[in-house]
Structure formats: structure tokens, C-alpha cells
Amino acid sequence: MIKENVRIKSGEHSRLVVTLKREANYLVLFLTGAWLLVWAGITLTIFYGLATNPEKIDGELIIFTTLITLAGVLVLKYFLWHLNGRERVELNAQELTVQKLGTILTSKRKYELSQIDNFRVVTKQTSPLIFRMYGITGGQIQFGYYGNNKVFGQTLSKKEAENLVNVLNEKLLSLTRAKKN
């Protein structure tokens, strides 16, 4: 059985769209899933108590309920990311767009094409292991943007990353040449 983690589609108007499927980390899925079950029980208990006994509401309970709700949403975000996350990378004549799909509370990251240095495979991971494990940061493909290194492709193998880097660099070169002419 061959897993398809990378899907490359060359579209109209010199557009390249790459979809990178997130490979699930079952330990993280188990831990975040268990945490979400406990969180749901605690949250339902709190809201039931508030509904049946509203005179018990005080400042500490409101702060605790707010914090536990925010923590639950954050953990849900990472649970969904590991369950069915994908990265969509689009390279067109004006910009590079990287977007996380399959989870909540994400936004597109856009980079001007003229400010992008070449794409390369990451040789040394600089983000902490715990952040990479939960899918918060990290990646296998790196590029320079205004003097900073940006990364994407969290669960790509080295071979997949090398192949994708070649495709992206070819497309970047052809788009920048076409823009200069």
C-alpha cells in the first residue's frame, strides 16, 4: 500500500498547487483525544452546575471556565490537525501561499514572490521537539523571506522534500524569469 502524502497540480495561469497530507502521530491523537474527553466532562459539569445553581457564579468560576474553554479549543485545533490536517501550498506569479487545512483557527500565510530565496531541504531542525511533535512549528522545506527562514511540510520524508524542492525551485525560477521579461 502506497501512501500519497504529496499531490502536485499545475493549474492555469502559471499556478502550481501542492497539497501535503499530514501524517498522523497516533500518540498525540490518543493524548489529545483523551484530554478532550476529560475536558468535555469537566465543561459539561461546570455548565450543568451553572444552569441548576446560578447563585454560585463568581469571578473565579468565570475565569476558570473561560480558561478551560480556551484550552479545550486549542487542544481541539491540534487534535483535528493530526486527525485530518493538510498543508496547501500555492505558487503563482505574485506570491507563495501556505495554508493549513483540516483544522480550526488557521490563516493563510502569504509571501511576496520577489522576496523569496530558493527552496531547500531543512538540514537542522531548530524548533523544540515538543512543538514539532504537536504540529505547532517545524517543517522539512525551508525558504528565505526578508532574511528570515520560513518552513512548511511537517511530515514529509527527506526524499519527498527533495523532490518537492526541485519542483518548487523550477517553478520559482520560471516565474521570476517571466516577470523580468
Checking if the pLDDT of 1 tops 60, the result is no
Q: In what order do the strands lie in the sheet with 109-112?
A: 6-11, 15-21, 86-91, 95-101, 109-112
| Cα–Cα distance measured from residue 49 to residue 45, given in angstroms and rounded to the nearest whole number | 6
Q: What are the residue boundaries of the structural domains of the chain, listed by start? A: 6-22+85-180, 27-82
| Cα–Cα distance measured from residue 13 to residue 179, given in angstroms and rounded to the nearest whole number | 13
Q: Which CATH class is domain 6-22+85-180?
A: mainly beta
Sorting pLDDT into bands at 50, 70 and 90, what band is 56? confident
Mean pLDDT of 28-57: 92
Q: Give 115's contacts (C-beta < 8 A, 6+ positions apart).
A: 145, 146
Sorting pLDDT into bands at 50, 70 and 90, what band is 44? very high
Checking if the pLDDT of 126 tops 80, the result is no
Task: Compare 92 and 180 and report the one with higher pLDDT.
Answer: 92
Dump strand ranges (E) for the chain.
6-11, 15-21, 86-91, 95-101, 109-112, 116-121, 141-145, 148-152
Residue 15 C-alpha cell reads as: 499556478
Mean pLDDT of 77-89: 92
Task: Give the pLDDT of residue 179.
Answer: 64
Sorting pLDDT into bands at 50, 70 and 90, what band is 98? very high
